[in-house]
Amino acid sequence: MLSIFLLMLCIACGNNTKEETSVTASEEKKEETAAAPTEAGLIPIVDYDGLKPYLTKNNDSTYVVNFWATWCKPCIKEMPYFERIQAEYAKEKVQVVFVSLDFPDKINTQVIPFIEKNNIASKVILLDDNDANSWIPKVSKEWSGAIPATILYNAKERIFYERSFTYEELKKEVTSIL
Protein backbone atom coordinates (compact mmCIF):
# COMPACT_ATOMS: atom_id res chain seq x y z
CA MET A 1 0.00 0.00 0.00
CA LEU A 2 2.94 2.34 0.63
CA SER A 3 3.94 1.77 -2.99
CA ILE A 4 0.48 2.84 -4.10
CA PHE A 5 0.72 5.97 -1.92
CA LEU A 6 4.09 6.93 -3.41
CA LEU A 7 2.84 6.23 -6.94
CA MET A 8 -0.21 8.44 -6.33
CA LEU A 9 1.98 11.24 -5.02
CA CYS A 10 4.14 11.10 -8.14
CA ILE A 11 1.17 10.97 -10.50
CA ALA A 12 -0.74 13.74 -8.73
CA CYS A 13 2.20 16.09 -8.90
CA GLY A 14 3.46 15.31 -12.37
CA ASN A 15 6.80 14.08 -11.05
CA ASN A 16 8.98 12.71 -13.82
CA THR A 17 12.05 12.06 -11.67
CA LYS A 18 12.82 9.23 -9.31
CA GLU A 19 13.63 9.94 -5.69
CA GLU A 20 16.22 7.96 -3.80
CA THR A 21 14.49 5.78 -1.26
CA SER A 22 17.42 3.90 0.18
CA VAL A 23 18.62 5.21 3.53
CA THR A 24 20.65 3.22 6.01
CA ALA A 25 19.16 2.61 9.45
CA SER A 26 21.80 4.79 11.11
CA GLU A 27 21.13 7.65 8.67
CA GLU A 28 17.40 7.28 9.28
CA LYS A 29 17.85 7.39 13.06
CA LYS A 30 20.17 10.39 12.77
CA GLU A 31 17.60 12.27 10.68
CA GLU A 32 14.78 11.40 13.11
CA THR A 33 16.62 12.78 16.10
CA ALA A 34 18.10 15.90 14.50
CA ALA A 35 16.33 18.93 13.16
CA ALA A 36 17.91 20.81 10.30
CA PRO A 37 18.86 24.43 10.95
CA THR A 38 17.54 27.25 8.81
CA GLU A 39 17.84 30.98 9.16
CA ALA A 40 14.37 31.07 10.73
CA GLY A 41 15.04 28.28 13.22
CA LEU A 42 14.47 24.57 12.75
CA ILE A 43 12.57 22.32 10.40
CA PRO A 44 11.50 19.47 12.65
CA ILE A 45 11.44 15.97 11.20
CA VAL A 46 8.49 14.19 12.77
CA ASP A 47 6.51 10.98 12.51
CA TYR A 48 2.70 11.01 12.66
CA ASP A 49 2.74 11.31 16.46
CA GLY A 50 4.88 14.44 16.09
CA LEU A 51 2.55 15.80 13.38
CA LYS A 52 -0.65 15.19 15.34
CA PRO A 53 -0.34 18.30 17.57
CA TYR A 54 -0.29 20.46 14.42
CA LEU A 55 -3.60 18.88 13.35
CA THR A 56 -5.49 19.03 16.64
CA LYS A 57 -5.01 22.41 18.29
CA ASN A 58 -8.12 23.66 20.07
CA ASN A 59 -7.65 27.36 20.69
CA ASP A 60 -8.73 30.70 19.21
CA SER A 61 -6.61 30.35 16.03
CA THR A 62 -7.48 29.02 12.61
CA TYR A 63 -4.95 26.64 11.08
CA VAL A 64 -4.16 26.03 7.43
CA VAL A 65 -2.10 22.84 7.16
CA ASN A 66 -0.78 22.15 3.67
CA PHE A 67 0.85 18.87 2.62
CA TRP A 68 3.39 19.41 -0.16
CA ALA A 69 6.77 18.34 -1.57
CA THR A 70 9.53 20.15 -3.44
CA TRP A 71 9.00 17.90 -6.48
CA CYS A 72 5.23 18.59 -6.68
CA LYS A 73 4.60 21.30 -9.29
CA PRO A 74 1.01 22.15 -8.18
CA CYS A 75 2.24 22.35 -4.57
CA ILE A 76 5.00 24.79 -5.47
CA LYS A 77 2.64 26.89 -7.57
CA GLU A 78 0.19 27.43 -4.70
CA MET A 79 2.68 28.04 -1.88
CA PRO A 80 2.82 31.82 -2.40
CA TYR A 81 -0.95 31.92 -1.90
CA PHE A 82 -0.61 30.26 1.50
CA GLU A 83 2.17 32.67 2.42
CA ARG A 84 -0.04 35.60 1.40
CA ILE A 85 -2.91 34.24 3.53
CA GLN A 86 -0.51 33.91 6.49
CA ALA A 87 0.51 37.56 6.14
CA GLU A 88 -2.92 39.02 5.37
CA TYR A 89 -4.82 37.15 8.09
CA ALA A 90 -2.28 37.24 10.91
CA LYS A 91 -4.52 39.62 12.91
CA GLU A 92 -7.35 37.08 12.63
CA LYS A 93 -4.98 34.47 14.12
CA VAL A 94 -4.61 32.41 10.96
CA GLN A 95 -1.53 30.21 11.03
CA VAL A 96 -0.15 28.32 8.05
CA VAL A 97 1.83 25.11 8.52
CA PHE A 98 3.56 23.45 5.58
CA VAL A 99 4.08 19.69 5.97
CA SER A 100 6.78 18.51 3.58
CA LEU A 101 6.51 14.96 2.33
CA ASP A 102 10.02 15.02 0.89
CA PHE A 103 12.38 12.25 1.92
CA PRO A 104 14.32 13.18 5.08
CA ASP A 105 17.65 12.78 3.30
CA LYS A 106 16.58 15.67 1.02
CA ILE A 107 16.08 18.19 3.83
CA ASN A 108 19.50 19.84 3.44
CA THR A 109 19.77 19.54 -0.35
CA GLN A 110 16.20 20.35 -1.43
CA VAL A 111 13.82 21.41 1.33
CA ILE A 112 15.92 24.01 3.15
CA PRO A 113 17.29 25.58 -0.07
CA PHE A 114 13.72 25.78 -1.41
CA ILE A 115 12.43 27.40 1.79
CA GLU A 116 15.28 29.91 1.83
CA LYS A 117 15.12 30.70 -1.91
CA ASN A 118 11.37 31.33 -1.72
CA ASN A 119 11.46 33.21 1.60
CA ILE A 120 8.89 30.90 3.18
CA ALA A 121 7.98 32.50 6.52
CA SER A 122 5.31 30.02 7.64
CA LYS A 123 6.07 27.05 9.87
CA VAL A 124 7.57 24.10 7.97
CA ILE A 125 7.88 20.54 9.22
CA LEU A 126 8.92 17.38 7.43
CA LEU A 127 6.82 14.26 7.91
CA ASP A 128 8.90 11.09 8.01
CA ASP A 129 6.55 8.20 8.68
CA ASN A 130 6.69 5.15 6.42
CA ASP A 131 3.35 3.79 7.64
CA ALA A 132 1.22 5.83 5.24
CA ASN A 133 -1.57 3.24 5.48
CA SER A 134 -1.91 4.23 9.11
CA TRP A 135 -1.46 8.00 9.13
CA ILE A 136 -3.21 9.07 5.90
CA PRO A 137 -6.71 8.11 7.14
CA LYS A 138 -5.91 9.71 10.50
CA VAL A 139 -5.25 13.00 8.71
CA SER A 140 -8.52 12.59 6.78
CA LYS A 141 -10.65 9.60 5.86
CA GLU A 142 -11.29 11.43 2.58
CA TRP A 143 -7.59 11.57 1.62
CA SER A 144 -6.29 9.21 -1.06
CA GLY A 145 -2.74 10.33 -0.32
CA ALA A 146 -2.33 12.64 -3.33
CA ILE A 147 -0.80 16.10 -2.87
CA PRO A 148 -1.33 18.95 -2.62
CA ALA A 149 -3.74 18.44 0.24
CA THR A 150 -4.89 20.99 2.80
CA ILE A 151 -6.74 21.02 6.10
CA LEU A 152 -8.45 24.17 7.36
CA TYR A 153 -9.55 23.97 10.95
CA ASN A 154 -10.32 25.83 14.13
CA ALA A 155 -12.15 25.00 17.35
CA LYS A 156 -15.51 25.02 15.52
CA GLU A 157 -14.88 23.48 12.10
CA ARG A 158 -12.54 21.21 10.11
CA ILE A 159 -12.44 20.98 6.30
CA PHE A 160 -10.18 18.78 4.14
CA TYR A 161 -9.22 19.49 0.50
CA GLU A 162 -7.34 17.17 -1.83
CA ARG A 163 -6.62 19.73 -4.53
CA SER A 164 -4.62 22.80 -5.38
CA PHE A 165 -5.87 26.36 -4.95
CA THR A 166 -5.75 29.71 -6.65
CA TYR A 167 -5.31 32.63 -4.28
CA GLU A 168 -8.96 33.64 -4.66
CA GLU A 169 -10.19 30.09 -3.91
CA LEU A 170 -7.96 29.78 -0.86
CA LYS A 171 -8.99 33.19 0.46
CA LYS A 172 -12.67 32.29 0.05
CA GLU A 173 -12.21 29.01 1.98
CA VAL A 174 -10.21 30.66 4.78
CA THR A 175 -12.70 33.51 5.21
CA SER A 176 -15.59 31.00 5.27
CA ILE A 177 -14.14 29.29 8.35
CA LEU A 178 -13.16 32.43 10.30
Is the residue at 23 inside a domain?
A: no
pTM: 0.80
- Report the CATH number at residue 51: 3.40.30.10
pLDDT of 154:
97
Is the residue at 24 inside a domain?
A: no
Domain count, the chain: 1
Mean pLDDT of 39-45: 70
Portion of the chain with pLDDT greater than 90, in percent = 76
Task: For residue 156, give its domain range.
Answer: 2-17+36-177
- The residues that bridge with 68 in the sheet, in sequence order, are 100
Is the residue at 30 inside a domain?
A: no
Is the residue at 112 inside a domain?
A: yes
Residue-wise pLDDT tens digits, 49-59? 999 999 999 99
Is the residue at 25 inside a domain?
A: no
Mean pLDDT of 160-177: 98
- Cite the DSSP H helix spans in 40-166: 48-55, 73-88, 112-117, 132-139
Is the residue at 31 inside a domain?
A: no
Residue-wise pLDDT tens digits, 111-152? 999 999 999 999 999 999 999 999 999 999 999 999 999 999
